[in-house]
Amino acid sequence: MTKTFFNSSRLERENRTVQKMIELYCHHHHRNGLKGCCSKCRELQDFAERRLSRCIYGPEKPVCAKCPVHCYKPAQREQIRIIMRWAGPRMLLHSPVLAIRHLLDERRPVPPWPGKKSRKKKEEYTP
């Protein structure tokens, strides 16, 4: 996993939450409890981290499930949706602090659209 610099503790926490969710899902579905994620899930982790570090909302971002900006490609979007639905309730057991803070974040209103100037292109990001 690449180390991305997050200029806000909130984004960094969101990143830790999503990384953990993917890890939980992978351990249960692909790795049979072995350490580390399979290559497909590591890819998804990197993808999620990059997307988060480029979120146009920055620290004010709504939780991804509520975000009006579709920054994930359809395939990844579907993958992450399945993972989050499965891992969401389990996060309460594994990482209660992260899970509860995420639940609190879910109650935040979606901030107004920050405008186009901070957004380079409308096209999908390709690494």
What sections of 1-127 are H helices per DSSP? 9-29, 39-53, 74-94, 96-105
Asked if residues 52 and 22 have their Cβ atoms less than 8 Å apart, the reply is: no
Which CB sits closer to Zn ion, 11 or 80?
Answer: 80
Contact between 38 and Zn ion per CB under 5 A: yes
Find the binding residues for Zn ion in span 8-27 (CB under 5 A).
Answer: 26
Contact map string, positions 41 to 70, toward Zn ion, x by CB under 5 A: x-----------------------------
3-state secondary structure of 111: coil
Which CB sits closer to Zn ion, 11 or 45?
Answer: 45
Contact between 87 and Zn ion per CB under 5 A: no
C-alpha 29/C-alpha 40 separation (Å) is 12
Asked if residues 18 and 6 have their Cβ atoms less than 8 Å apart, the reply is: no
Judged by the rule CB under 5 A, the positions of this chain that interact with Zn ion are 26, 30, 38, 41
